[in-house]
A and B are shown apart, each in its own frame.
Chain A
Amino acid sequence: EPEVTQTPSHQVTQMGQEVILRCVPISNHLYFYWYRQILGQKVEFLVSFYNNEISEKSEIFDDQFSVERPDGSNFTLKIRSTKLEDSAMYFCASDRGPPTEAFFGQGTRLTVV
């Protein structure tokens, strides 16, 4: 069964460093998303991406964040200068567009020290 894959599963970085989280969405999906979940809190929307453009973004997704689809398979989230409060699970998701259902990857646990 097709699945969304994310790498790495765990990333530890020092405050102020740049990190890139990687995702391979399901191959026939067209819409890609990043969500995050701070420990003990709910899953929060960050950004949606379609046709090489951001479709929608949340207030969390400020200038420190960027997304890219560098080739036909990968979808990345970059955090330019990490802060302690960026520590969270980051989930990539994909779907064929509304109204279809979104499928999530297993997440990257980001720890900023």
Chain B
Amino acid sequence: QKEVEQDPGPLSVPEGAIVSLNCTYSNSAFQYFMWYRQYSRKGPELLMYTYSSGNKEDGRFTAQVDKSSKYISLFIRDSQPSDSATYLCAMRSNYKLTFGKGTLLTVNP
């Protein structure tokens, strides 16, 4: 079983839709959870960072962590064409991040 599983998509939605992105993990040592956005051939850009089970909201973005199920989610409300990118989940144990493969999202005008 891979440490971090993420559906690579692609995911295509109309502008204004609510987007749900998910990752599962198997390593109980992961304590901190992040979502990054990556445009083609660019570096990952941090969107959300959480370390406890529950929800964290920042503008149109909500990150959700369920440690008992080893499941994390990112919700994007009122999606915009500028949200089109690859979304990476990442999990931290000690001194490194373990990434999911990324979900390619396209928001159509």
Contacts and interface: CB of A to CB of B under 8 A. Distances in A.
Interface in A66-113: 89, 91, 93, 98-99, 101-107, 109
Contact of A42 (B32, B43, B95, B99): B99
Contact of B92 (A58, A91, A98): A98
B45 to A, nearest CB: 7
> Which residue, of A44, A58, A101, has the highest number of chain B Cβ atoms within 10 A?
A101
What DSSP secondary structure best describes chain A's contact surface?
Answer: strand
> Which residue, of A31, A43, A93, A105, has the highest number of chain B Cβ atoms within 10 A?
A43
B95 A31 contact: yes
A93 B31 CA distance: 19
Interface string B86-109: 001010101111111110000000
Given A42-B101, A42-B102, A98 B41 contact: no
Interface residues of A, number: 28
Contacts of B102: 42
A109 B44 CA distance: 14
Contacts, number: 65
Given A98-B94, A99-B31, A99-B51, A44 B41 contact: no
What DSSP secondary structure best describes chain B's contact surface?
Answer: strand
B49 A101 contact: yes
A57 to B, nearest CB: 9
Nearest to A97: B95
Interface in B17-46: 31-32, 34, 36, 41-46
B104 to A, nearest CB: 11
Given A33-B97, A42-B100, A43-B88, 17 more contacts: A33-B95, A43-B90, A43-B97, A43-B99, A45-B98, A48-B96, A56-B95, A58-B96, A91-B44, A102-B34, A102-B92, A102-B97, A103-B46, A104-B44, A105-B43, A106-B42, A109-B41
